[in-house]
Amino acid sequence: MKIAVCIKQVPTREWQPRLTDDRTWIREADASFEMNEPDAYALEEGLRLREKHGGEVVVCSAGPARVQQVIREGLARGADRGLHVDDAGLAAADGFMVASALAHAMRDEAFDLVLTGLQSDDQGHAQTGVALAELLGIPHSTIIMDVEASDGRVRVKRELEGGWFQWVAMPTPALLTIQSGINQLRYATLKGIMAAKKKEIRSVAPPAGLTPALKIVGLSLPAKSKQTAMIDGPPAQAAAELVRRLRDEARVL
Q: Are 223 and 124 in contact (CB under 8 A)?
A: no
Q: Is the pLDDT of residue 227 over 80?
A: no
Q: Which residues, including other chains, have CB under 8 Å from residue 143's CB and lie 6 or more apart?
A: 118, 158, 159, 160, 177, 179
Q: Which pLDDT score, from 0 to 100, does residue 251 have?
A: 80
Neighbouring C-beta atoms of residue 89, cutoff 10 Å:
15
Spatial CA neighbour of 79 closest among 105, 40, 110: 40
CA–CA separation, 100 and 122 (whole Å): 19
CA–CA separation, 5 and 44 (whole Å): 9
pTM attached to this predicted model:
0.84
Spatial CA neighbour of 44 closest among 57, 28, 27: 57
Q: Which pLDDT score, from 0 to 100, does residue 195 have?
A: 95
Question: Binning pLDDT at 50, 70 and 90, where does residue 224 land?
Answer: confident
Neighbouring C-beta atoms of residue 103, cutoff 10 Å:
19
Query: pLDDT tens across 152-198, in order?
Result: 999 999 999 888 999 999 999 999 999 999 999 998 999 999 999 99
Q: Which pLDDT score, from 0 to 100, does residue 148 have?
A: 96
Q: Which pLDDT score, from 0 to 100, does residue 226 have?
A: 75
Q: Is the pLDDT of residue 71 over 90?
A: yes
CA–CA separation, 187 and 58 (whole Å): 17
Q: Is the pLDDT of residue 59 over 90?
A: yes
Q: Which CATH number fits domain 2-204: 3.40.50.970, 3.40.50.1110, 3.40.50.1970, 3.40.50.620?
A: 3.40.50.620
CA–CA separation, 166 and 141 (whole Å): 11
**What is the average pLDDT score of the chain?**
92
Neighbouring C-beta atoms of residue 212, cutoff 10 Å:
15
Query: pLDDT tens across 104-129, in order?
Result: 999 999 999 999 999 999 889 999 99
